[in-house]
A = this chain, B = another copy of it.
Amino acid sequence: MTGMLTIAGLGPGDAALITPEVAPYVARVAAREGLVLHASDNRQELLRAAEAMRLAAAGRRVVVVSSGDPGVFAMASAVFEALEASPQWQGLIIRVLPGVTAMLAAAARAGAPLGHDFCAINLSDNLKPWPLIEKRLRLAAEADFAIALYNPRSASRPEGFARALEVLNEAGCGDRITIFAHAVTTADERIDALPLRDARPDMADMRTLVIVGNSTTRRAGRWIYAPRRAS
């Protein structure tokens, strides 16, 4: 078995944020002789992972790419899930190449809203029950974490973000500065910030990352940051 499976993170969009470790794989995604692109639906992650592993086990050098970091709400978990289900593939050489995940790029553009303790919650994942998401939002508010919300307006759960805003408002987060980072680091980038109570569901779309500040998150000029000090 000479195949290898590489799971690579492409970063948030700008080529200047693709690590040198990953960059060669991106260059190779351009069509060329001997390269086969296996496109698949984003919702079919497990099938895609299993197919990648099957090709690698057959001796191919396979690359599975994700935007952002492959380990954060992306393909890496699906690959290992497929691996666990198929012990005959556990000798495969696998490498995970990290990337700049969306919340880091969004935070950098806004200032430093993740400079103090924080959490990241995926609103899109239809593999977890919605009450669990609400529970996590309430506990995150109580813990006074800054909260990064991935996939706020996913196709599979478009109504979730409106409810998430309600839950956080009910949990007393109405004053918290909330950042909508749209298509961050791309030509379409747009960063908006406002108190949570004024946030509307339609401010987020499929390319938006939302960061809800903690109770001490504040502005310094045009920047938004979480102070290092907490009480």
Chain A positions near chain B (C-beta within 8 angstroms): 11, 14-21, 23, 45, 69-74, 76-81, 83-84, 87, 90-91, 94, 96-101, 104-105, 107-109, 111-122, 125, 127-129, 132, 135-136, 139-140, 142-145, 218-223, 225-231
Q: Which residues of B contact A73 (CB under 8 A)?
A: 115-116
Let me know if A77 and B136 touch, CB within 8 A.
Answer: no
Q: Which 10 residue pairs spanning A and B have beta carbons closest together?
A: A77-B115, A84-B220, A90-B221, A119-B119, A76-B112, A80-B225, A96-B108, A16-B21, A128-B230, A139-B143
CA distance A11 to B99 in the complex (A): 10
CA distance A72 to B117 in the complex (A): 8
Cross-interface CB contact of A120 among B99, B111, B119, cutoff 8 Å: B119
CA distance A11 to B173 in the complex (A): 32
Let me know if B19 and A18 touch, CB within 8 A.
Answer: yes
CA distance A120 to B45 in the complex (A): 26
Q: Which residues of B contact A226 (CB under 8 A)?
A: 77
CA distance A27 to B120 in the complex (A): 33
30 intermolecular pairs with C-beta atoms under 8 Å apart: A11-B19, A16-B19, A16-B21, A17-B19, A19-B100, A20-B20, A72-B114, A74-B115, A77-B112, A80-B220, A80-B225, A81-B225, A83-B220, A84-B218, A87-B221, A90-B220, A96-B108, A96-B109, A96-B112, A98-B107, A101-B104, A116-B122, A117-B119, A117-B136, A119-B119, A119-B143, A132-B144, A136-B143, A139-B143, A140-B143
Q: Which residues of B contact A132 (CB under 8 A)?
A: 144, 230-231
